[in-house]
Amino acid sequence: MNKIANSDKNVNHYLPLWNSSSDANMAKHQDTRSAKSLPVHEMDTNILFEKFTVEEIREIEKKTRADIERKKEDLRIMVGERYRDLIEAADTITEMKNSAQNVMSSIAKMEDMCRQLKQRHMVRGTSFQQRMSSGHQGGKKQEVHFYGIASQIKLLLDMPEKIWSALDEEDYLTATQHFLLSRHIHTSLQLESQQSGNLLSMFPVLTRQWAAISHFRTTILQGCRNVLKQPAAKDEQIARVLCSIIVLEDSTPRQVFNEFLLARTTAVQQLFHPSHQNASVKEQISLVVQLITTTVHQIHTVFYSPAEPSDIPCNLLLTILTEITSEKQGARLLETHGSMSAKSLPKSVLEFVPTLRSHAVPVSVQHLQDNCQQWINTCMNNVTSGVGKLLSFVNTVKRLADIRDQVWLYLKQDSCMQGWDLVCQRILNQPLSIWHGFLQPLFISRVKALIKFQLESSTEVTKRQISKVVMAIGSGEEGGIADTDLAGYIWHESPGDIPVNMAWTTATSRSNSDNPGGLIMKAKAYTPVIQSLCKTYEEKLQGLLQDALSYLSLLTPVEESKSSQPEAFDRLSDSDALYVHIQTSCKACLEELIKYFKEHLTLWEKALHDIKDPGINQMTQDKVLLIGRLCSAIGDMVPALQQCIMGKSAIHGPDSASSRVLKKQSSSSGGKVSENSEWSSSKERLCNCHREAYRIWVDHLTLSVVTKLRNALSSKEHKNALIYCTRWDEVSIEEETEDGKKISSKIRVPMQASWYVQNLLYSLCREINRVGGHAVQRGTLHQLVSKVTDEVMKSFEEVVSNSRKKDSNCLPLTQQRALQLIFDVKFILQIIPRKDDTVEGKSYQKAAARIIESLEEKVDPFDLDVFSPYMQSHLMKQGQRSAVLYGALTSLDRLGLFSAGRPLQSGQSEQHNVLPLTSCPSRFTLLPISTQPIRSSIQAPALQKSLYKAKASEGRSHTLTETAAAVLPQTSSMQKESSFYNKLGSMSSMSELSSWFSNIGSKS
């Protein structure tokens, strides 16, 4: 039992050694004891034997032994796992011991080397041992040593002057070599002073002199970095500067390459800084182009290392770096030939050359290409923002063309552009165009913006001028008199009606010239206001074209042929896009102008419907007609608009071959040039606006004149019938009765149209003449006549329908009134026959026949048979008398209304109404001459002929015509009646005269 207790004690002794595995076993053991309710302090042997039986004690023993075995196993496992860590710790201790020994030995070697360095005067640079002959005596060595130190100090005193001289000449590599030599001498002397303490006492200037030289390092580096930013720096200068940075800062070619790109990026950004605003935009953009081209070229020249020999210079950096670090170049640094002090300098000073910390390795091609592409992208972003701001200060396309030509000239003459494609392929692995890649998009954008701005400003100026003219018409100012009284303007003579060279130019050339004369403008009904508006618009657009042509055209062929050098880039590569932009922008501005017109026409049309004041309506009509005439004039008097819309095919200089061809085609085809679809579409929109304006005028005029007619016809007062009634003719007739007796009686028949009919026709003619009817389109006049006549027939139909209803409120339709209405309808049909084959014309004829038939039913048939011949005769006479008065309406019938029914005079042959014209139309246009000119006929004096006539006619009475003819000069041509004036006199009636004059000025 004691043995068991001792084993339990041993177990308790091992329990603290491991925690993780013993905790689990103790937990199980405690669970077992807890089942027996055994506390920990009762684990004594005596207590066990007192409280438990032998079987229970044996069971506890078994459990205890099992726990002991389990814990031993856990201990073995733990020791096996930790053994590997113990071995690693032992190895680490051994390695630390070896490392410490190596460090101690290295320190000892360094001490030996420093001791040797002090002895041999060695610093950065190539190691040179002073070889003193062993035969020198001790005194001689000390003297040579003293003179060597003195010579070094003298050289050190001269170094600031040499460095400053090199800096003034911007020879930074030489300044760098002098600085490194000064540092080498100073370090050597410092080491010497540590060995011999009396050196500083003998030469106290040594300490102060290095303070005067040490600052040159910063100055040299700053100057080198400034040179890197200069666009005009040469290739060799850039390479020498980079070599200075390498030896001063112990850099590598790769590092200085990145620094070079960074400096050039900063230089590009500085060119757009506000501090450079004193220079012109042209100079700044030229500097940007110069900086980019020289940078790309210098990257290839300085850094690129070709695998094979190249015709283009390259790898200049390593070449210069090898030269300055070569031992053969050391003696060239100090020019001391013939100097006494040079003989005492140590060999380490005389043969000093800079050294590099590591061997210079050229920049790889891949690194070169990647960084160059990134730099190009960065420059492109900077140029896009910077040049874009600079171009915003350029206000004309001509200045942009000057800048473009300056860039083209620089790239053409720049030596960097030789082998440009090969250089870009090597360092960028892709082609690069300075103009197309950097500047062209910015220039195109600015040119488009300027063109759009000029077109929009021209449109806005035209709008403001139109508004001013409209206000002048409304206020009755002097500027709008011609547009309110167009007839007065047309028939008023002015000094500028006939140009000076009219007699020597053809009609076509006069109409196409800049100064066609006032008569042509009056013939087209273009008032001075319209001429001024079109002239202003033309000047604006012509200025735009001239400004744009400076960018879209090159030098003259003679100047171009003188230059045999290859082109830097195609200056006209963007011309097609700009032509399209001009065409598109001009069409948009024209649409804006037409939209402005239509908005005003809509407002004025509404005002004509809503406002009943005749004066205000008259001014509104004048405004509407002004817009209509202006739309027509823009298409005729603004040729620059046609050029802009037609695009590239029409935009030419005044002396270009294509312009001469267009003029020749225009003169040969009577002024008509083939129009393209764009201009035809735009002109059609102007014509639509013109027709819309005249439609408003037609509607309002129809409404006003028809309203007066309808009020007169539907009047309920009897006095109005007397007011509107005209004179009737009293005719004596003889009738034979059944008995054979003749009975004479008098009848009265209408001989004139009613006053309201004549007032309607005269109002129409007066209004047509007032607005320049000769210039109004024939379609518009036909539209006016059609609408008026249709409404007139409707008014007569209302009268007939009211008479059938027998309305007591209306005037009765008596026989006399019916006869007058029949005469009125037939008179209207005679003045406005409308004999066209259209559906509207046939409907008009049927309606008139229906009205006449209905009115004839109100007349006694016997009386109608008697009255009809006389009414027809009066109708013809009335028509002939009023044909000239209503010529604006009768001229619409091209065939003539009354001359066809003229009977031939007895004993005379038929005379044609065709007048031969002069064969010299250039001098006297449309001048009629006689058919058979007789040059031999000489007129007798008028006095003798008058006396002869007086004697021959004595004894009989004279009429007024004979008396007037007696005193007029007569020629033999009068007998044949072939003269133009004789033909006018021989016409049987006024109908012939009116039919001839009615076609003058008619417009299809």
Q: Write down the mean pLDDT value for the chain.
A: 75
What is the mean predicted confidence (pLDDT) over 444-458?
92
| AA letter at 208 | R
Eight-class DSSP state of 745: E
* pLDDT band at 772; cut points 50, 70, 90: confident
Q: What are phi and psi of 630, to 5 degrees?
A: -65, -40
From residue 517, alpha-carbon distances to 50, 214, 494, 510, 921 in Å are 153, 88, 10, 8, 17
Closest CA to 1004 of 841, 891, 890: 891
> What six digits make up the tokens of 155?
């050289």
> What six digits make up the tokens of 104?
């101690």
Q: How far apart are CA 590 and CA 683, in angstroms?
A: 10
Residue 573 has pLDDT above 50, yes or no: yes
Q: Helix 861-881 to helix 815-831 angle, to the nearest 10 degrees?
A: 40
> What six digits make up the tokens of 649?
């095919």
Who wins on pLDDT, 706 or 146? 706
User: Which residues contact residue 516 at a Cβ distance below 8 angstroms, ignoring those fewer than 6 apart?
Assistant: 499, 510
Q: How far apart are CA 421 and CA 431, in angstroms?
A: 6
What pLDDT, on a 0 to 100 scale, did the predictor assign at position 919? 53
Q: How far apart are CA 729 and CA 298, in angstroms?
A: 112
Mean pLDDT is lowest, of 38-42, 468-472, 623-627, 758-762, for 38-42
What pLDDT, on a 0 to 100 scale, did the predictor assign at position 503? 62
What is the mean predicted confidence (pLDDT) over 658-662?
41
Q: How far apart are CA 274 and CA 905, in angstroms?
A: 97
Tokens 């041993």, residue? 10
Q: List beta partners, residue 748.
A: 730
* Dihedral sign of CA atoms 223, 229, 230, 233 in order: positive
216-225 pLDDT, tens digit each: 888 999 999 8
Q: How far apart are CA 978 and CA 983, in angstroms?
A: 7
Other residues' Cβ atoms within 10 Å of the Cβ of residue 441: 14
Length of the chain: 1004
What pLDDT, on a 0 to 100 scale, did the predictor assign at position 678? 85
What pLDDT, on a 0 to 100 scale, did the predictor assign at position 340? 62
What is the mean predicted confidence (pLDDT) over 917-922?
50
Eight-class DSSP state of 999: T
Element spanning 569, H or E? none
Q: How far apart are CA 321 and CA 240, in angstroms?
A: 8
What pLDDT, on a 0 to 100 scale, did the predictor assign at position 301? 87
Hey, which of 74-78, 224-228, 670-674 has the most confident mean pLDDT?
Answer: 224-228
> What six digits make up the tokens of 573?
């590569």
Other residues' Cβ atoms within 10 Å of the Cβ of residue 936: 5
What is the mean predicted confidence (pLDDT) over 682-688?
92
Question: For the CA atoms of 693, 699, 702, 703, what is the dihedral angle to 10 degrees?
Answer: -130
User: Which residues contact residue 214 at a Cβ distance below 8 angstroms, ignoring those fewer than 6 apart?
Assistant: none
205-218 pLDDT, tens digit each: 676 777 788 888 88
Residue 974 has pLDDT above 50, yes or no: no
What pLDDT, on a 0 to 100 scale, did the predictor assign at position 480? 62
939-965 pLDDT, tens digit each: 433 333 333 333 344 444 444 334 333
From residue 310, alpha-carbon distances to 299, 300, 370, 423 in Å are 15, 11, 22, 11
628-658 pLDDT, tens digit each: 999 999 988 888 888 888 887 777 644 443 3
Closest CA to 189 of 223, 232, 159: 159
Residue 698 has pLDDT above 90, yes or no: yes
What is the mean predicted confidence (pLDDT) over 526-534?
88
Who wins on pLDDT, 574 or 262? 262
What pLDDT, on a 0 to 100 scale, did the predictor assign at position 925? 47
Closest CA to 534 of 642, 612, 439, 379: 642
- Phi/psi class of residue 358: alpha, beta or left (left: φ > 0; alpha: ψ in -120 to 50)? beta
Eight-class DSSP state of 730: E
Per the CB < 8 A criterion, the answer to whether 301 and 287 are in contact is no
What pLDDT, on a 0 to 100 scale, did the predictor assign at position 140? 67
Give the helix ranges, DSSP H, for 716-777: 718-724, 755-770
What pLDDT, on a 0 to 100 scale, did the predictor assign at position 59? 87
What pLDDT, on a 0 to 100 scale, did the predictor assign at position 834? 82
* pLDDT band at 197; cut points 50, 70, 90: low
What is the mean predicted confidence (pLDDT) over 574-603?
91
* pLDDT band at 597; cut points 50, 70, 90: very high
* pLDDT band at 432; cut points 50, 70, 90: confident
What pLDDT, on a 0 to 100 scale, did the predictor assign at position 719? 72
Q: What is the DSSP string of 403-436?
A: HHHHHHHHHHH-GGGTTHHHHHHHHTSS---HII
241-280 pLDDT, tens digit each: 999 898 888 888 888 999 999 999 998 888 888 776 677 8
Closest CA to 832 of 778, 775, 883: 883
Per the CB < 8 A criterion, the answer to whether 970 and 742 are in contact is no
Q: What percent of the chain has pLDDT over 70?
A: 72
What pLDDT, on a 0 to 100 scale, did the predictor assign at position 915? 52
* pLDDT band at 458; cut points 50, 70, 90: very high
Residue 172 has pLDDT above 70, yes or no: yes
Per the CB < 8 A criterion, the answer to whether 626 and 483 are in contact is yes
User: Which residues contact residue 417 at a Cβ distance below 8 angstroms, ignoring those fewer than 6 apart?
Assistant: 293, 411, 568
- Phi/psi class of residue 2: alpha, beta or left (left: φ > 0; alpha: ψ in -120 to 50)? alpha
From residue 595, alpha-carbon distances to 453, 630, 685, 689, 957 in Å are 19, 14, 10, 9, 74
* pLDDT band at 663; cut points 50, 70, 90: very low
What is the mean predicted confidence (pLDDT) over 532-559?
80
Hey, which of 357-361, 596-600, 986-990 has the most confident mean pLDDT?
Answer: 596-600
What is the mean predicted confidence (pLDDT) over 143-170?
82
* pLDDT band at 604; cut points 50, 70, 90: very high
3-state SS, 127-191, equals CCCCCCCCCCCHHHHHHHHHHHHHHHHHHHHHHHHHHHHHHHCCCHHHHHHHHHHHHHHHHHHHH
What pLDDT, on a 0 to 100 scale, did the predictor assign at position 800? 87
Per the CB < 8 A criterion, the answer to whether 321 and 252 are in contact is no
Long-range Cβ contacts of 943-951 (<8 Å, 24+ apart): 945/969, 945/970
Q: How far apart are CA 788 and CA 889, in angstroms?
A: 11
Question: For the CA atoms of 461, 463, 467, 469, what is the dihedral angle to 10 degrees?
Answer: 70
What is the mean predicted confidence (pLDDT) over 600-623?
90
